Amino acid sequence: MLIVKNSCFIGLKIALCSLALLFFFNSQSKEGMWIPATLKAHENELKAMGLDLPVDQLYNASGTGLNNAIVLFGRGCTGEIISSNGLILTNHHCGYGTVQGLSSTEKDYFANGFFAKDFKDEIPCGGLTVTFIRRMENVTDKIVPGLADTLQDAARDSIIKARIAGLEKEFEMNTGMDATVKPFYEGNQYWVIISETYKDIRLVGFPPNGIGTFGGDDENWAWPRHTGDFSMFRVYAGADNKPAAYAAGNKPYHATTFLPINTSGYKEGDFTMVYGFPGTTMEYISSFELNQVYNIVDPINIDARTKKLKIWSKHMNANREVFLKYTAKRAGVANGWKKWQGEIKGLKMNKALDKKQAEELAFAAWAKTDTGSYTTSLLPELEKAAKSADDAIARDQHIREDVLGIELIQQGVALEKFVACFRAGFSDAALSDTLKKLATGLAWFYKNYDAETDKDVFEALMPIYLAKCGDDVPDYYKKAYAASGEHIKKWANAVYDSSLVASLSRLTEFSAHARNSDSTRLINDPAWQLYSSVAALRKQNITPAIEGYRQKKRYLNRLYENALLRKDKEHKMYPDANLTLRLAYGHVQGLDPDGKPKYSWQTWLKDVVELDDPKSESFKVPAKLKTLYEQKDFGRWKAGDDVPVAFLADNHTAGGNSGSPVLNKKGELIGLNFDRPYEGTMSDYLFDPNRCRNISVDIRYVLFVVEKFGGASWLIDEMKLVN
């Protein structure tokens, strides 16, 4: 985004703001998520801000750069290698779903935690992967030559797809590793990413929720924080140290590059870096698209999830079995729910739409001087496209959150496969055999599903959809609601009492005895009717409008960003995050939102103990942790007479940076990034140096918990500690 710094205060004329935009890049800004292979261009700034090691040690293609110690953890988090034995440090919430699959009422790792006693005690995590980025190379000159900027995307994409396929194959043959070409700057630039993905990952350490999720929703996306948000895993490899499928005989991955750990701490103002895989930012979108986020999508999401989370929490608090079923799902739903609230607040406080409009005035003035024939028409076309899609986006979002937010209706996707079997012309025996296999394959869903909980969600969300979408709802919904006397509870009871997918046993029983003549039972199933009718309406009335808008927007945004790059003579525009490896840099820095007295930039174990509430699932401090505090048994991890827990810095982060290492000026690990403060969550769209901060757990708290609470000092012995 063309950032307006603090030169556009309330009351200044737009003309002055527009003039200030000509100088919107501040060389000392902490904003930016930079491609590691481009860091040489930032060397002077990095050195001036405090970096105390050669830039090529942060990234190089020879295998010795710190990029070899940073991993994409799973599909959307970051981890780092912290020992030569492939030990991974990441966030507690990044490992949460994996650990849920390993937990049971007998082995409740959320309540009790887990710390392996030795290598043999480490637990295999089926399906979990970590990916190392070995090299990144700009290949734009091999992808876009001969393609006019204004070439329509359909033709352009076809050519580019073929070029990418050939280039990836060439790199894979030459390197013996995976090669992926990804677009940057809305497809105006392309980079090839050479990587290795390891598939044998094992759980090593996981603190209980009383440490790893301490503060719960109350403290999520907030400061101050008191959460020990970390977990530990290990990469295992084949005999050649290369990726291999799980095997008992695999050995810990031998890492030639791993992060040393600094145990002497830091102070406010110290230089920091965050290295990781930020997921998605949209810094360069128009004010018209930002309006859709601010006034349409986020409010709909928040309203639906507020009701769903209240119901889930009620059932989880009443039944430990339901808690275990829903704890990971709830964490994911709540994470977005609170983030969007902070996002709206931050955008409003920052007058983001006004700033965007001021940027666009400056762009329009510049466009008149640009030689590109299309430049002056970009903003009017973006406005027209966005406004024509606003209504369809609202209706689609209500379906996503209010209808498909009900798990029973989500299962309509699975029922589609059942219906297809009836239409396939199988014999009765073959039909039953196929349906039984499909039902068995759904066991994963029912392991974490409770029909009574979901029925309450139905009763809460369905009325929102009916009210907000008026007559534009399926006829089936209108008739079924009328048949229940427009009584939502009666309708819900009728659905859940009769639907096959309300329980696995029901679905299994049907599958075991199904004959072709039973197709009517399946087609008349209320879950199938609810799903298929809304899917048909969506396909006919909504999807064409949204898809048309997305195609138009994609084309226009590519041209808009192309123009912004031409306007950026100093090459200070960083590409939006796209889950590729990036480095951000800044300083340890407190928070001063709204001109209020500055909050502390650090929290302590003392603060954790003072918040203890045995009646609260969020603030219940484990007894052993309290004992360690009361006895001042801090070992070598104390600072003064306490243990530091979390701290703030002003690095630019996004989703995907969860688990990213926070490094000091020497590239040593001082913390583990895990969150952003409430008002700063809008940094995906607008970075404000006064409000945007990243929250990290202090590495000394991590090591304290591992050694003193978890009794796993053997893990610390394999790390490289410096001070």
Token pair of 497 as six digits: 């009492």
DSSP one-letter code for 283: T
Burial class, 383, CB count within 10 angstroms (exposed 0-12 / middle 13-18 / buried 19+): middle
Catalytic option among 92, 93, 226, 398 = 93
d(CA 262, CA 634): 17
- Residue type at position 290: L
CA 117, distance to chain mean position in Å, is 31
Alpha-carbon separation of residue 399 from 298, 389, 474, 538 (angstroms):
14, 16, 11, 8
Per the annotation, the verdict on 93 as an active-site residue is: yes
Residue in the block written with tokens 């209504």? 391
- Number of neighbouring beta carbons within 10 Å of residue 291: 18
| DSSP result, 657-696 | -TTPEEE-TTS-EEEEEEE--GGGGGGGT---TTT--EEE
Burial class, 483, CB count within 10 angstroms (exposed 0-12 / middle 13-18 / buried 19+): exposed
Catalytic option among 200, 229, 402, 525 = 229
- Number of neighbouring beta carbons within 10 Å of residue 47: 15
d(CA 464, CA 402): 7
Catalytic option among 658, 660, 683, 696 = 658
- Among left, alpha and beta (phi > 0; psi -120 to 50; other), residue 581 is beta
- Number of neighbouring beta carbons within 10 Å of residue 352: 24
Per the annotation, the verdict on 231 as an active-site residue is: no
Per the annotation, the verdict on 42 as an active-site residue is: no
d(CA 484, CA 700): 59
- Parallel, antiparallel or unpaired: strands 261-262 and 721-722: parallel
Phi–psi pair at 707, nearest 5 degrees: -80, -55
Residue 422 parent element (H or E): helix 412-423
Contact between 35 and 582 (Cβ < 8 Å): yes
Contact between 143 and 190 (Cβ < 8 Å): yes
Token pair of 514 as six digits: 């199904």
The dihedral through the CA atoms of 581, 585, 590, 593 has a sign that is negative
The catalytic residue positions are 93, 229, 658
